[in-house]
Structure 1
């Protein structure tokens, strides 16, 4: 199988052979060529050239002419692991500060410039690195390099106390949203404290402790920047439709004069050991307790990492694993999983499980079963299938990662940053290819058997008695060094000297020619329409078969029936057990899954093309031969109920569910969560599932979209496997009348919530690709559809109330809505609502400006360059055409509308569709904290008991 995969990649033109590392060769003044990797043989690599500037900046270029795109990534070898004790969160904080303007880029302009260029951008921070990246049309490359160079070499003068304060509040909001207000959100932080000795770089969270950020001043973060953000600690990776000579000239121009920073040495891993099991616990706002066992192992790319990954697969990944057999399959756990996560300095072997309350088993029982599963593994040993499954999944994951230029660039950047060698894909494959059964047993005996772990119990608040074991370890009080204030005089400022004016933003080149995918159409003998496109960039095939049935067809007393029916199609079939299906798919490197939404149920297939026939056989089996086994049904039903309970603990989910039900009414099944309610799911029987399947699953309401490296004739032949599926017409449940909206604040109490979730909106237009719905979306872009929209700039960037705020129109063929939303700090809930309402009212009354019109046209007019790159994007494009029966040139019509639409029409749409008196407000938060201020807003306040499903 491995040889066939590589041969397929050769045909696709994605492989190469690294040349022998060359001695430094000057290709231009100040630029040395270090290495060239070219397409030469069957080895799997991403072709590239590696250069270095005199200031130490490593530059990697990858040419990919398949789409008129470029992706730029700047990775700095600094993450939270480089921070000092008592100064946690600085690396992540600088990720925020790097978007706040620099010497030659005004405040809040980074997002605006890239968005207006038709691009997208972001930044991420982890324990080991921070990266910043943009994808944009290829004519925007010089502008992207100018922006990245300006914040690498000219940032500090723009780092003001005001920006520092605002972004500190934004980080607090991010922590509230992602950690404090999320069930199990503090789990990782607590485990890290127990796993690593005090002062270890991984002993504090990436986002940091807020008391550390509160203690810091603006010069602290400037000092951090000067220490770690030099060009000699960075890798600039550029991929896509580039001209090498011109690109290097721009790199030299914009980055070449930036002075080196202090020298940086790679950190050295230190072995982490535990002298005994450390039991810890946390009471949290959760519905289900959770057991989490973490063993320290090695570090990234250690020789034992690969066999430990195979061991994780055997013990707890997929339905072939021991934990699935012993916990999930038996109904003892609603979920279990094993992983082996690796970072630069340390890896952790993690086993987790959430018990099923209906089993009567608790966390102590779960721990006992996990330990018994270890013993079972010792008796069972390692099988050839185990090795083959993991190898296949690694191969397919790496190949799927080559489907986008951003994926290839990210891979090159990571390999260079951590290994000083971008050419590692083949070596990654080989180290898994070389894992033996003896290796897996050896690492089990070395790192797990008889070894100690951090064992954490997360239990519902007030249920301390549910822990697996009483705590045997408590964190010591943090020993913070005496704070020494950093002054301007302590900063070693480095200044670049240029022979050009950096304040002049480069002009874009000529717009690239953008082609939508060429589409072919056919129809199977049973009437299933097929829409396809050829994609030769990777030897893969992606297929989506959709059936027009979903939660809209649920009986009101059996909400969740469509979702459970889809879930049952992911279980056993008449010819294969769960375990057999999972084993086959994993060894193929394929995935086949079935899921349902409001209107459609879809079968999604992803496969290496060489394995497509076998993958389609399994897909067809799942769709047409479900076993509807009573044991599977019992397990799925119990998992669904626990999922509903868990969702009820998430304020963002509660807010969206209550808001949707208010808009569309209790008489419409789609107004509820697709999973249903606890009461309705309890009403569902296996006979209900069989009846729903027989009534609503039919080729008469099915369609297929497909993207493959195969030509139409060959793929069409393979899809004929579905042509023997028979079935008649399917009636759709009509819409019930929507309720009259009462202008009010609908409030859900979440005691102790770290944030408040806000939804403001109304019913609005159904989807129309080129009609008023599309035009309303253009109108909203500057209000809440872009990062630089009025709403987000106001609430996030100017006031620090939220991590992000937005607004937009959404809809399908039958109904739609307009919604503005955000998660905000509890103490500014009322102020956030006031600002939301102010921005919507102002926009409705006065409309957008000429400058905003230009920004919107430029931004949306160029983003098509990145809309059709990957098979997934192409599937989405084909899916819209199929769903809404669109002409193939609808994108051209949209662009014509975009370019010709005038300010008067857009502002008229704002007046018509942003009437505040027609909107409702939903707030989910801590009543004790926010109710007194909400009562002063002048709205009627209606309290909602969301968990009882009553309004």
Structure 2
């Protein structure tokens, strides 16, 4: 879909009523398909065109035609999430999502991932409190195959599932909870707050991922009954977007889904925001560095007319540098972070406020809570100004337009809004709602829902520091007890449903020829200051995305300067000679633009996202940031303290510890071994003068690059870019060093201790290849694809799907022009740390000695080559592709060379690479975990052990 370059706010306001039509599409519909509505924007309205239909069995089908790229996105959303679970069976909706990838009657175990990957596509599924969705993005010639897959698990799932599959996924979900919740700092925050906020038995009182005891209690009968109750076509929406025709989609939808019988009728759940009579204080000790206070106050529900005004209120209180909480807590260094938000779900919304206390300030969480409440009281005095409303409107307008850049983004919006509001495209209504918000509305919702209203106040403090909590606990939630509350399910004896077909579903549909893929047409020029420009026109949305790369990354720092480039990037995000940090943030927000500055290995990267109509104003602000930074002591000291606290926090993260240890072993005492954010020692020693000196010495345009994706033509964009940074001159030192090869004992376990860790982080690897586009490095990537480079890889199927040791395991080559490594990694249960290492070593040795099979080689060829249709769809994807072209001074023809390599690489060549780089005897093994738990296991492996 293409949008013009007109002012979007005016267009939306003028065209809101001109979007929908009840006129049926031309041509006859397949039997059993009923037309519901057609939504076609008139003129330049910001909207997502679609047609909506319904099958006789109740399945809603939404089609969005977008022929800009040869791909299609397929989404099936079921209106069931954790809110529809039974008491004592929490986590089942999410567990069931896992089970739906384990095969169906005509699709073997693990085949769903394999089929989509081999088709060149991507896929996943997600669960929240209110819905579960499954989605695939594939080349458009694979549409029928995707509908066959989705229909098979909707209609033919139960007879295929086995107890073994059930047991494996039960273990996988428990691993996911351990890795993503129990072993993550503050990971149980939402779970504890929800448990205290909602009364016993409320559908939001338990976590989506579930309680471990409840997951253990699930049975195959639960699985069967959950499917029969909620997974009928009448409780689902099939949304398809891409280079398709509505006629084709309807014929295939009716063929594959039409015969699936309806499920039980599903009624809407009652809206049920929490009802609190007084503040509920709860607390917990956690393996964290910074104490956190979190306040949650019940408000309305998703779609309520007061939600936009509450969102504006949350922005005023706690969004960005201009917010009240930032000014009162973060700027004076009383907190490392502070924010507010208004979070909505189908049945309830909550107004939330949080702060991470700064230890150096000497404040406990009671002090921080008092400051938050002082800010709430000050809202009456402060009121609401025009900028508050305008920046909220600008943000929602920009998000709406940027959300149209991918077919997946548009399809997900259509599916969400149909599921919860029976109105697939709500962009115009949402924009109208925000444009209608007044100062009086914001103050009214503040008084009605937030002012002096009771909430849940949660304190999370480091272990042994309960004296820091905001207040003594005054509420203990009731916990499910099967002995008291019973275990009998209300879902029992539901009748089986069976489709009757006139065709053989066991035959997998054949895909047509691969679609023609158009590599972006690019043009280039060199600015007067030496910045090399590479650009392309992309007229699907009226937006511009730019990536400016200045050669001043962390590799330009010595080991004693680690973190200096990162600190410079942070300082460039602060005040300038003519703008305070707050004024700059406000100016960008009013434009609907974003500017992100960060430090990479070789470059400081400046990412700019703007509505094209506002691009000149946005670039003027970017130039102010880059050319006229204020470098104030106040900004530096605040950022320095925040970085130090962030590093302390990172030391509680097993993944961070594993990465640091692994880099040290790979690169020794060298800048490549240092974390980009620095260390506590290097940041402590850093001065503002160091940052200024590095800026003056290294932050120069010569050698830089600028990549642009815009709906402007070359003739239109050239003068904009030519005037950008036109008076900035100078060159700096080029990066020239050799990555060291430190002497390190291989076939050795390097052990790093992490207190009370239920999971262990594993890294197994070695130094390998420098990066290239079409040479040995790329061939090694192809070699690794079936070993550890996709979901169906040998490593992941072994450790996750067969053993249930982890939520995910992988391997791969990474590198740059100086050095590269091969790494196999996973986060595994602590009790199977040694067993997991054994399986890694087994798979490495098996692949090294036996090589790739004919079937695996064919799978890799198909998966890699067919994925090209997905590589250039969005502006960000184009930026990444063009960044590779610039880095390696290559033309777009390198993609043809890569395709040729994929088609012709021999089994012998892949096996040679495996033999050369996959010998475990030449690798190190890094383990981060609780030494007391894992060392006895590791000793049994027989490797030397070195504690780091």
TM-score range, shorter chain: over 0.9
Aligned-residue CA RMSD (Å): 1.9
Q: How big is each residue's C-alpha offset from its partner over 1:815-859, in whole Å with a ceiling of 9 and x where there is no partner?
A: 111000000111111110000000011101111100000000000
Is the 1:813–1:884 contact (alpha carbons within 8 Å) kept by the matching residues of 2?
Answer: no
Q: How does 1:695-734 map to 2 (within 5 A)?
A: 695-720=697-722, 721-732=724-735, 734=737
SS class of match (1:699): coil
Using the alignment, how far apart are the partners of 1:872 and 1:557 within structure 2?
34
SS class of match (2:340): strand
Using the alignment, how far apart are the partners of 1:103 and 1:614 within structure 2?
58
SS class of match (2:29): strand
Of 206, 217, 220, 1:218 maps to 220
- With over 3 angstroms needed to count, the CA separation of the structure-2 counterparts of 1:725 and 1:691, relative to structure 1, is same
Of 596, 619, 623, 2:622 maps to 619
Of 39, 47, 50, 1:48 maps to 50
Question: Where does residue 660 of structure 1 map in the other structure?
Answer: 663
Is the 1:830–1:933 contact (alpha carbons within 8 Å) kept by the matching residues of 2?
Answer: yes
Question: Where does residue 198 of structure 1 map in the other structure?
Answer: 200
1:789 aligns with 2:769: no
Q: How does 1:375-386 map to 2 (within 5 A)?
A: 375-386=377-388
Using the alignment, how far apart are the partners of 2:588 and 2:154 within structure 1?
45
Is the 2:851–2:914 contact (alpha carbons within 8 Å) kept by the matching residues of 1?
Answer: yes
Of 546, 568, 573, 1:565 maps to 568
Is the 2:81–2:128 contact (alpha carbons within 8 Å) kept by the matching residues of 1?
Answer: yes
Using the alignment, how far apart are the partners of 2:749 and 2:236 within structure 1?
49
Using the alignment, how far apart are the partners of 1:342 and 1:49 within structure 2?
27
Q: How big is each residue's C-alpha offset from its partner over 1:850-905, in whole Å with a ceiling of 9 and x where there is no partner?
A: 00000000000100100000000000011111112122211111111111111001
- With over 3 angstroms needed to count, the CA separation of the structure-2 counterparts of 1:316 and 1:10, relative to structure 1, is closer
Aligned residues: 941
Q: Give the TM-score taking structure 1 as reference length.
A: 0.97
Question: Where does residue 860 of structure 2 map in the other structure?
Answer: 856
Of 289, 295, 298, 2:297 maps to 295
Using the alignment, how far apart are the partners of 1:99 and 1:16 within structure 2?
41
Question: Where does residue 551 of structure 2 map in the other structure?
Answer: 548
1:328 aligns with 2:313: no
Question: Where does residue 648 of structure 1 map in the other structure?
Answer: 651
Using the alignment, how far apart are the partners of 1:764 and 1:938 within structure 2?
25
- With over 3 angstroms needed to count, the CA separation of the structure-2 counterparts of 1:96 and 1:214, relative to structure 1, is same
1:490 aligns with 2:475: no
- CA displacement at 1:39 relative to structure 2: 3.2
Using the alignment, how far apart are the partners of 2:824 and 2:9 within structure 1?
48
Using the alignment, how far apart are the partners of 1:735 and 1:770 within structure 2?
22
Question: Where does residue 418 of structure 1 map in the other structure?
Answer: 420
Is the 2:559–2:674 contact (alpha carbons within 8 Å) kept by the matching residues of 1?
Answer: no
Using the alignment, how far apart are the partners of 1:932 and 1:880 within structure 2?
46
- With over 3 angstroms needed to count, the CA separation of the structure-2 counterparts of 1:83 and 1:607, relative to structure 1, is same
**More divergent stretch after superposition (800-809 vs 2-11):** 2-11
Using the alignment, how far apart are the partners of 1:273 and 1:310 within structure 2?
23
- CA displacement at 1:214 relative to structure 2: 1.0
Q: How does 1:134-213 map to 2 (within 5 A)?
A: 134-213=136-215
**More divergent stretch after superposition (732-741 vs 501-510):** 732-741
1:602 aligns with 2:596: no
- With over 3 angstroms needed to count, the CA separation of the structure-2 counterparts of 1:221 and 1:21, relative to structure 1, is farther
- CA displacement at 1:271 relative to structure 2: 3.7
Using the alignment, how far apart are the partners of 1:722 and 1:888 within structure 2?
28
- CA displacement at 1:734 relative to structure 2: 2.0
Q: How does 1:835-914 map to 2 (within 5 A)?
A: 835-914=839-918
SS class of match (2:928): strand
Using the alignment, how far apart are the partners of 2:450 and 2:24 within structure 1?
43
Using the alignment, how far apart are the partners of 2:99 and 2:28 within structure 1?
35
SS class of match (2:164): helix
Q: How big is each residue's C-alpha offset from its partner over 1:888-936, in whole Å with a ceiling of 9 and x where there is no partner?
A: 2111111111111110011111001112111000001111111111101
- CA displacement at 1:781 relative to structure 2: 0.2
**More divergent stretch after superposition (67-76 vs 722-731):** 722-731
Question: Where does residue 947 of structure 1 map in the other structure?
Answer: none
Question: Where does residue 4 of structure 1 map in the other structure?
Answer: 7
Is the 2:550–2:701 contact (alpha carbons within 8 Å) kept by the matching residues of 1?
Answer: yes
Using the alignment, how far apart are the partners of 2:5 and 2:648 within structure 1?
44
- CA displacement at 1:222 relative to structure 2: 1.1
Q: How does 1:478-557 map to 2 (within 5 A)?
A: 478-480=480-482, 481-484=485-488, 490-557=493-560
1:132 aligns with 2:162: no
Using the alignment, how far apart are the partners of 2:363 and 2:619 within structure 1?
39
Q: How does 1:360-379 map to 2 (within 5 A)?
A: 360-379=362-381
1:762 aligns with 2:766: yes
- CA displacement at 1:9 relative to structure 2: 8.9
Is the 1:31–1:52 contact (alpha carbons within 8 Å) kept by the matching residues of 2?
Answer: yes
Using the alignment, how far apart are the partners of 1:385 and 1:244 within structure 2?
43
Is the 1:25–1:34 contact (alpha carbons within 8 Å) kept by the matching residues of 2?
Answer: no
SS class of match (1:824): strand
Q: How does 1:630-645 map to 2 (within 5 A)?
A: 630-645=633-648
Gaps of 5+ in 2: none
Question: Where does residue 808 of structure 2 map in the other structure?
Answer: 804
Q: How does 1:104-143 map to 2 (within 5 A)?
A: 104-143=106-145
- With over 3 angstroms needed to count, the CA separation of the structure-2 counterparts of 1:23 and 1:902, relative to structure 1, is closer
> Runs in 1 of length 4+ with deviation above 3 angstroms?
6-11, 13-16, 20-26, 484-487
Q: How does 1:277-356 map to 2 (within 5 A)?
A: 277-356=279-358
Is the 1:565–1:693 contact (alpha carbons within 8 Å) kept by the matching residues of 2?
Answer: yes
Is the 2:12–2:428 contact (alpha carbons within 8 Å) kept by the matching residues of 1?
Answer: no
- CA displacement at 1:749 relative to structure 2: 1.2
- CA displacement at 1:364 relative to structure 2: 1.4
Question: Where does residue 670 of structure 1 map in the other structure?
Answer: 672
- CA displacement at 1:299 relative to structure 2: 0.3
SS class of match (2:835): helix
Is the 1:313–1:339 contact (alpha carbons within 8 Å) kept by the matching residues of 2?
Answer: yes
Q: How big is each residue's C-alpha offset from its partner over 1:309-363, in whole Å with a ceiling of 9 and x where there is no partner?
A: 0000000000111111111111111111111010000011110111111222221
**More divergent stretch after superposition (233-242 vs 887-896):** 887-896
- CA displacement at 1:7 relative to structure 2: 6.8
Q: Give the TM-score taking structure 2 as reference length.
A: 0.97
Using the alignment, how far apart are the partners of 1:612 and 1:478 within structure 2?
56
Is the 1:14–1:46 contact (alpha carbons within 8 Å) kept by the matching residues of 2?
Answer: no
Using the alignment, how far apart are the partners of 2:282 and 2:510 within structure 1?
57
Is the 2:760–2:927 contact (alpha carbons within 8 Å) kept by the matching residues of 1?
Answer: yes
- With over 3 angstroms needed to count, the CA separation of the structure-2 counterparts of 1:442 and 1:275, relative to structure 1, is same
SS class of match (1:28): coil
Using the alignment, how far apart are the partners of 2:26 and 2:775 within structure 1?
58
**More divergent stretch after superposition (168-177 vs 416-425):** 416-425
Q: How does 1:564-603 map to 2 (within 5 A)?
A: 564-603=567-606
Using the alignment, how far apart are the partners of 2:736 and 2:252 within structure 1?
60
Using the alignment, how far apart are the partners of 1:366 and 1:538 within structure 2?
44
Is the 2:130–2:345 contact (alpha carbons within 8 Å) kept by the matching residues of 1?
Answer: yes
Question: Where does residue 87 of structure 2 map in the other structure?
Answer: 85
Of 80, 100, 123, 1:98 maps to 100
- With over 3 angstroms needed to count, the CA separation of the structure-2 counterparts of 1:279 and 1:613, relative to structure 1, is same
Using the alignment, how far apart are the partners of 1:336 and 1:69 within structure 2?
41
Is the 1:16–1:42 contact (alpha carbons within 8 Å) kept by the matching residues of 2?
Answer: no
Using the alignment, how far apart are the partners of 1:231 and 1:50 within structure 2?
15
